[in-house]
Amino acid sequence: MHSPTFRIGVVNASSRLAPERGQAISDWAARMWPDGEVELVMHPSLYEVHGHFGGDDATRAQALIDYANDPSLDAIWFARGGYGSCRIAEAVIPHLNHHARAKRYLGYSDVGTLLAAFYKHGIGTVAHGPMAADGSRNDETGLRAVNWLRTGDTTSLEPSLLSDPRPAVAFNLTILDQLVGTPVEPDLSGHVIMVEEVSEAMYRIDRMMFHLTGQASIRKCAGLRMGRASDVTENDPDFGMSAEEIARHWCERAGIEYLGSADIGHDRDNKVVPFGPR
């Protein structure tokens, strides 16, 4: 007797998604679960195009509302990042029902703005972790994501979470730096904050850490961990500090405890960080 199919809604809140990338996601799931144990349900608007975005703001917002509120779907997996979720984050919150509040949501990068808004308003269980496009490129990455969406699998988690009981969050550094002070900023008092970055010069990482650690709200956190900074753009001359050295510097100046590295980043090894207490 087969167990019920676990149905994961795939939506796009950010940049446009190429149809061939969406097909790769569907093909990957069909290969991994040929018996139908897991089904990825692709939203009909997934390939909409509106300039930079995967459909206009109203289309992307409605897609998320539709799938979050759908009782036939067990979880929501964001298709990709890029840019655009900040344009819809506030708009979706008032329209989410009790089904939305019972789901798990997974993504990172640009989607961090939505994760912050959902966490602030108690919408479901949200986590920074691989997106659907990542999973279709690497089996281990995809399984890590789906296993957490299905069961909250602890082997998918960032390792420090298994020994530190304090509430935690994780964000792309640029995203967290930009959402602080806005209506979607959650209260991160007492939280361990993990950050990662991609495709930024070290001087920009330094400047963002200056701004982030200078915020009164962020200084109430329990501490900070630095994830990987990948595809760092060239500094001429060389900046002379690593991302971890930058994080240590600004944490010390701000009176924030630096807790070490985090196993998160814009890569296939990106681990899952559920928001909140363990």
Q: What is the pLDDT of residue 155?
A: 97
Length of the chain: 278
**In the predicted structure, residue 214 carries a pLDDT above the cut 90:** yes
How many Cα atoms are found within 13 Å in the side-chain-facing hemisphere of 240?
2
DSSP string, 190-234: TPEEEEEEES--HHHHHHHHHHHHT-TTGGGSSEEEEEEEESPPP
Q: What is the pLDDT of residue 187?
A: 98
Structure tokens at 212: 């982030």
Residues 88-115 pLDDT 10s:
999 999 999 999 999 999 999 999 999 9
Residues 120-147 pLDDT 10s:
999 999 999 999 999 999 999 999 999 9
Residues 5-56 pLDDT 10s:
999 999 999 999 999 999 999 999 999 999 999 999 999 999 999 999 999 9
Q: Is 175 helix (H, G, I), strand (E, B) or coil?
A: helix
